[in-house]
Structure 1
């Protein structure tokens, strides 16, 4: 006859579908519901909400503005550098929408979606950030070619090749991002080998995506380090006494290299601060079981990726003199269009004047600046 304690043990011991019972050594690592991933308390939810509600709309407006400025300028649309910046702005626009919605929906409002719906939302977030980092890679390679192959730059990087690179980037990005939705998911739903950072996500996929991102980030860092090294060598070489026209040209080039070095150093610093914490947590998640405290820390680190998307337009687009000139011209045109019409003759004259001004400005931008964005970077 069973004792009372044995009967209680028989009732309370959880069973798997095959009738077996989990071992006591693994009980602490098991997770049987989405609640295991909803780890934020009320104060942390308020902080996360504040970050997302501020950074999300700001990121969206900044990148939409960049896309509108580039789309409105025939001159900028012809240049590969600005095509890459358009790809970056598009990815960051997606990030501001997908990440803010999905992150708040899960961590703040505790929405419990099924596997397919959750992985679809996660795929959108992954696509946005993968596309953003991939576009940063294209921009870094563009600037590398500009600095190291200035004479062959237009031959090596044509507009057609730039478009093909962007299409290839987004095809690979979409494929990689939605692999969990297409079947590469955690077979046991929540228990190991599932990730403790994302439900339904297999740790092997997590290792694959994290490794891919690390390779891309490493390539970006190497490209910018080589650019900085080139700028430093150029500054040293120009240190000697020069005279005449060669001296003036060399000093102007040296000042441009120094400005580029400062800009690229800032880019590397922000890129490392925003992405390395998240990727480190993901690598740890592949090998060990994270605690709830570590899960909460990871949730805050994820918001740094959104902050990176918010900063990208300021680093890659609005620091460029050409794009700022296009932006001011667009704003001036909008302001002129909103002024009341004083008459058909007056209105026609304003319209013609605006069109002539726009044409003259486009021609001035095209003639006065080189085709590479690297040489148009200007310190604010």
Structure 2
């Protein structure tokens, strides 16, 4: 009897602690039973993260939409698999700018207490965007690898149809993996283990699966780009070596393009690693140990690096890809010419309307000055 009374008192005390202290630390999993365990940012931290998101989010959206418009407006770029993969990357980064900014600010700044389905739907959108971004970079790396190592058979190995099929498969797999928690693979014990301490309602086993897949994709990208850089270095040696002879003008131009593209995408890979490795490391640690509030706050700041990565990607394309930059200038020139034609048509219509109005006004003035001239002449006759 005394044992039952003591158990009731302990349960009452725990309930009182949960209700009166919503911001308790997550190191005690038994007391973490609300979304407040994940809303750990202080007011200055909220202001800093809000500033980052509000600056990077709209900029990322505009830049990637511009990249999509440039590629869509060029029939030449649309036919090339390389730019199809860049389009997939720009589309993923556009989604990231929308889903991440809205859901991140809604949760951490405005403390929106969504239900499990709504929260997992928002999280699925963010996961889909970033998974599609990393997957598109993998397709881009494989495309560059084939272009350099299988130059003679490149157009046969990677056709326009195969590139579109690869993009469709990538996004189908991405959507399925991203929305697995919404489809049922979620925590069954509210927020206690095996739940993640970084994402509410997310099972640690699912988080381990997703993080492991991202590490595998990053590893494959690194391997591809290391081989690309090695091949590019050999090209530079061949171009400058006196014993190997001089390559043809066409071959020299091709080598320079390969080297430039290799350096471009290697720089993208470096930025991707800097932005993603901290986040993935925190996720992997969360699978094995319980994170503190300080570590949760650090993870929130590291998450914004993923948005910064999506913001930097289109800048790299615009600055380092000659063809894309040339098409951008052509698109601007076309828009400028259309605007000038539109203004010329408007001015021409105004001039014609102005002449018609002047003539009509003159005739009306004459008739008003002699309103009865004709009738008087008839009467006189």
Fold shared, TM-score > 0.5 on shorter chain: yes
Q: Which runs of structure 2 are paired with 1:272-287 in the superposition (5 Å)?
A: 272-287=273-288
In 2: Cα distance, 1:72 partner to 1:90 partner: 15
Distance 1:296 1:102 in 2: 16
8 Å CA contact 1:228, 1:264 repeated in 2: no
Runs of 5+ consecutive residues of structure 1 not aligned to the other structure: 16-25, 348-380
The number of residues matched between the two structures is 335
Q: Give the stretch that moved more between structures: 309-318 or 298-307.
A: 309-318
2:311 counterpart SS class: helix
Q: Partner of 1:307 in structure 2?
A: 308
For residues 1-380 of structure 1, the aligned pairs below 5 Å read: 9-10=9-10, 12-14=12-14, 28-30=28-30, 31-241=32-242, 246=247, 252=253, 255-256=256-257, 258-316=259-317, 318-339=319-340, 341-342=343-344
Please tell me whether the aligned partners of residues 85 and 317 of structure 1 are also in contact (alpha carbons under 8 angstroms).
no
Measured in 1, the distance between the counterparts of 2:251 and 2:159 equals 28
How many angstroms does 1:27 deviate by?
8.0
- Of stretches 177-186 and 74-83 in structure 1, the one that deviates more from structure 2 is 74-83
Distance change in 2, residues 1:82/1:317 (3 Å): farther
Instruction: Decide whether the 8 Å contact of 1:210 with 1:283 is kept in 2.
Output: yes
Distance 1:163 1:251 in 2: 30
Distance between the aligned counterparts of 1:162 and 1:261, measured in 2? 19
Gaps of 5+ in 2: 16-25, 350-381
Change (3 A) 1:256 1:87: closer
Distance in 1 separating the partners of 2:138 and 2:318:
15
Assess, with a 3 A threshold, how the Cα gap between structure 1 residues 208 and 37 changes in structure 2: closer, same or farther: same
1:82 Cα deviation (Å)? 1.0
TM-score for both structures, normalised by structure 1: 0.82
Q: Structure 1 residues 317 and 148 mapped into 2: Cα distance closer, same or farther (>3 Å)?
A: farther
Q: What CA deviation, in whole Å up to 9, does each residue of 1:38-89 have, x standing for no partner?
A: 0001000000000000000000000100111111111111111111111111
Say if 1:244 and 1:289 are closer, same or farther in 2 by CA, change over 3 A.
Answer: closer
Aligned counterparts of 1:212 and 1:14: Cα–Cα separation in 2: 39
Q: CA deviation at 1:270?
A: 0.6
Q: Secondary structure at the match of 1:246?
A: coil
Residues 211 and 284 in structure 2, CA contact (< 8 A), matched pair in contact too: yes
Which has the higher Rg, Structure 1 or Structure 2?
A: 2
Distance 2:11 2:223 in 1: 60
TM-aligned CA distance change 1:40 to 1:216, over 3 Å: same
Q: How far did residue 255 of structure 1 move?
A: 4.5
The alpha carbon displacement at 1:268 in A equals 2.6
Distance 1:341 1:282 in 2: 56
Task: Output one character per residue of 1:120-169: Cα deviation in whole Å (capped at 9) or x when no partner.
Answer: 00000000000010011111110110010011000000011001000000
Q: Is residue 81–residue 139 contact of structure 1 (8 Å, CA) maintained in 2?
A: yes
